[in-house]
Amino acid sequence: MSKKRNSGDQDFEGTITSDDVLGKDVIDPDGAFLGIIEKLHIDPRTLEIVGITIDKGFLKKGLFIGRGYIQKITKFAVFLSIRPAYDVKGMAVFDTQGKKVGTVREVILVGQQNRIRSLIVQSRILRKHFIVPRDFIDTISRSVFLTCDKDVLERMQLELKA
């Protein structure tokens, strides 16, 4: 039996309700679990979905994902079209020679966008940290790979301090 509006002019079969979405998993394009949907944001003027807030777990700050980054909503999960930039935090960072530079301690974004401005990388040795601008990042997958050697980063950090 299909449900109909009070006016009786529209069939709701195949629609998804807030009950279907809230509490469901959020999955990034690589298939990684990001958290569960905590809130559904709706524009009060247009009545369109603006985005979702993800609960990433105990003691972790929630994350807002805009509608433009949502690829697909099903009754079982929400699938994103992008990987959130914050996900880079904790990844190992390697230079062009394959030497480990350190681990990403912080991600600096461009405003409220999902674009990395720079990374703060904590070195294992001497507890140094490096500021790595976006231009020095080659690829990000399971690790971060740079377009330069560790020596170039160290020289650049000295120039920033001077």
Host H or E run for residue 160: helix 150-161
Over residues 79-98, the pLDDT tens digits come to: 998 888 878 888 999 999 99
At 34-61, the pLDDT tens digits run 889 999 899 999 988 898 888 877 656 6
pTM of the model: 0.65
68-84 residue pLDDT tens = 889 998 878 999 988 88
Is the domain spanning 86-161 CATH 1.10.540.10? The answer is no
Residues of the chain with CATH 2.30.30.240: 18-83, 86-161
What fold, for 18-83?
SH3 type barrels. (2.30.30)
Strand partners, 121: 104, 130
